[in-house]
């Protein structure tokens, strides 16, 4: 009898992480000699630790197929980081107990840099703690900040959402600017890396066209230069469209979102760099402004997902299973770019340890010298990632997403108390 597998989703969910789940489960089902059942951790690694497992074999094929077009994490995800093998030894031992109790020989951990780090440690428990498990990472993060892989599933769809949305807003603002809003600010995700903000640059219809300003976490915010550029854009184009990363910081490294208004109790305003910039524009330039904060809408926007992203997400899930069946422990499948345009990519592999704990920021050569835009190199890198539409099915005017039954697996072990 082949061993069972455990699949867990980790960290912030995306529009396509379920496509990866579909890739894992459908590929495992196609190889009954290689892998037994695929269990999923309910709420990710927390379910693995608390023995709260979901039996995906109870789901009909149509439901698993529908994961491909369903955003969010179908089994639940969590923010919960395992520390080192020594520091968190009891948790790793518990994982082994759960693996043993349910005859689990394969572990797929679907997440970002932190998860790759955890997966890397789990891949060592055979050697360190005596229970052999084939542990394979599966990349996912809208932040696009993993090294080695050409891109991370989830990012391409956010990039497409941001580029489409700011293009639409630019049309809107341009047509009203004479008597109404002159400055429009769209805040996007990216606390440490500006990949998502960079994607806003794809909306420009020709060199120099709107959005006239992109603010990256990688470039220290300079108020005077920012205001000068806003003024120049309004005077030249009639309006100024700005895409700002939530991680935009001043020269002291302080998040702009934390420099803004304070409430009656003196608490910093609750998030939002867009309203801080709007305040600056109003106070210093007097232009009428509007601002939007896309927040979760951007990473959940399956309705405008990138087809390329969906395909990569699925392919990485499939590859993870093939790697596991081949018995290659401690690796992670990655996207390898073979050609920019038309985009040609294939699946490669990297050691989990090489992907863990390395944050890939937007390189300086992808940002224009003035710090406010993206270069042709950046465009060449980004544009392939948003190619193609992959609309979900609609019913009565709304996308029909799947909710799995998520049947629990009977527990066999005593309860386990999670560390707070």
Residues 183-202 that bind its own copies (CB under 8 A): 184, 186, 202
Q: Is position 312 an interface residue for its own copies (rule: CB under 8 A)? A: no
Is 43 a binding residue for its own copies by CB under 8 A? The answer is yes
> Is 143 known to be catalytic?
yes
Instruction: Return the closest-CA partner of residue 134 out of 266, 328, 315.
Output: 328
Is 86 near its own copies (CB under 8 A)?
Answer: no
- Nearest residue (CB) to its own copies, 178 versus 410: 178
- Between 225 and 282, CB nearer to its own copies: 282
Distance of closest approach, residue 219 Cβ to its own copies, in angstroms: 24
Which residues inside 200-259 make contact with its own copies, applying CB under 8 A? 202-203, 205
- Total site size for its own copies, rule CB under 8 A: 85
Q: Which of 58, 147, 383, 408 binds its own copies (CB under 8 A)?
A: 383
Please report whether residue 397 would count as binding its own copies according to CB under 8 A.
yes
Torsion over CA: 247, 185, 211, 305 (sign): positive
Catalytic position from the list 143, 150, 309, 390: 143
What's the min distance (Å) between Cβ of 161 and its own copies? 9
Indicate which single residue of 65, 101, 148, 174 sits in contact with its own copies (rule: CB under 8 A): 174
Interface with its own copies includes 265 (CB under 8 A)? yes
CB-based burial, 65-101: b 16+ in 10 Å, e otherwise = ebbbbbbbbbbbbbebebeebeebeebbebbbbbbee
Binding mask 316-345 for its own copies (x = CB under 8 A): ------------------------------
* Chain CA centroid to CA 349, Å: 20
Closest Cα to residue 115, out of 87, 141, 147, 150?
141
**Among all chains, which residue has been given the structure tokens 């799995």?**
404
Phi-psi region of 352 (alpha: psi -120 to 50; beta: other; left: phi over 0): alpha
Spatial CA neighbour of 248 closest among 343, 342, 340, 362: 362
**Residue 394 structure tokens:** 């609609």
Nearer to its own copies, 36 or 76 (CB): 76
For position 269 contacting its own copies by CB under 8 A, the verdict is yes
Dig out the tokens for 407 from the structure.
Answer: 């049947």
Which residues are annotated as catalytic? 143
């Amino acid at each position: 009898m082949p061993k069972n597998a455990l699949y867990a989703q980790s960290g912030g969910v995306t529009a396509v992480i379920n496509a990866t789940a579909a890739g894992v489960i459908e590929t495992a089902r196609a190889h009954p000699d290689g892998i037994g059942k695929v269990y999923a951790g309910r709420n990710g690694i927390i379910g693995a630790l608390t023995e709260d497992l979901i039996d995906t074999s109870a789901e009909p094929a149509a439901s698993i197929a529908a994961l491909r077009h369903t955003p969010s994490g179908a089994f639940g995800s969590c923010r919960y980081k395992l520390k080192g093998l020594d520091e968190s030894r009891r948790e790793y031992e518990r994982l082994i107990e759960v693996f043993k109790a349910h005859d689990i020989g394969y572990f797929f951990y679907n997440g970002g840099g932190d998860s790759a780090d955890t997966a890397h440690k789990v891949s060592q428990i055979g050697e360190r703690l005596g229970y052999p498990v084939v542990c394979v990472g599966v990349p996912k993060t809208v932040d696009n900040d993993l090294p080695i892989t050409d891109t991370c599933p989830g990012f391409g769809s956010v990039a497409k959402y941001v580029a489409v949305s700011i293009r639409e807003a630019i049309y809107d603002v341009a047509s009203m600017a004479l008597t109404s809003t002159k400055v429009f600010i769209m805040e996007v995700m990216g606390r440490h890396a500006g990949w998502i903000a960079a994607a806003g640059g794809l909306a420009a219809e020709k060199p120099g066209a709107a959005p006239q300003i992109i603010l990256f976490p990688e470039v220290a915010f300079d108020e005077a230069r920012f205001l000068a550029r806003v003024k120049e854009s309004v005077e030249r184009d009639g309006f100024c469209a700005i895409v700002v990363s939530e991680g935009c910081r001043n020269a002291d490294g302080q998040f702009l979102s934390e420099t803004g208004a304070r409430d009656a109790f003196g608490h910093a305003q609750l998030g939002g760099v867009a309203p801080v910039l709007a305040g600056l524009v109003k106070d210093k330039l007097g232009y009428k402004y509007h601002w939007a904060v896309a927040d979760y809408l951007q990473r959940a926007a399956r309705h405008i997902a990138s087809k390329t992203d969906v395909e990569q997400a699925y392919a990485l899930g499939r590859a993870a299973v093939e790697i596991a069946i081949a018995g290659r422990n401690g690796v992670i499948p990655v996207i390898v770019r073979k050609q920019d345009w038309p985009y040609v990519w294939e699946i490669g592999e990297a050691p989990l340890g090489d992907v863990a704990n390395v944050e890939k920021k937007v390189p300086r050569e992808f940002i224009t010298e003035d710090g406010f835009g993206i270069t042709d190199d950046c465009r060449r890198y980004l544009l392939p990632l948003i190619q193609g539409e992959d609309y979900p099915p609609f019913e009565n005017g709304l996308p029909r997403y799947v909710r799995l039954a998520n049947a629990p697996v009977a527990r066999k072990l005593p309860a386990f108390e999670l560390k707070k």
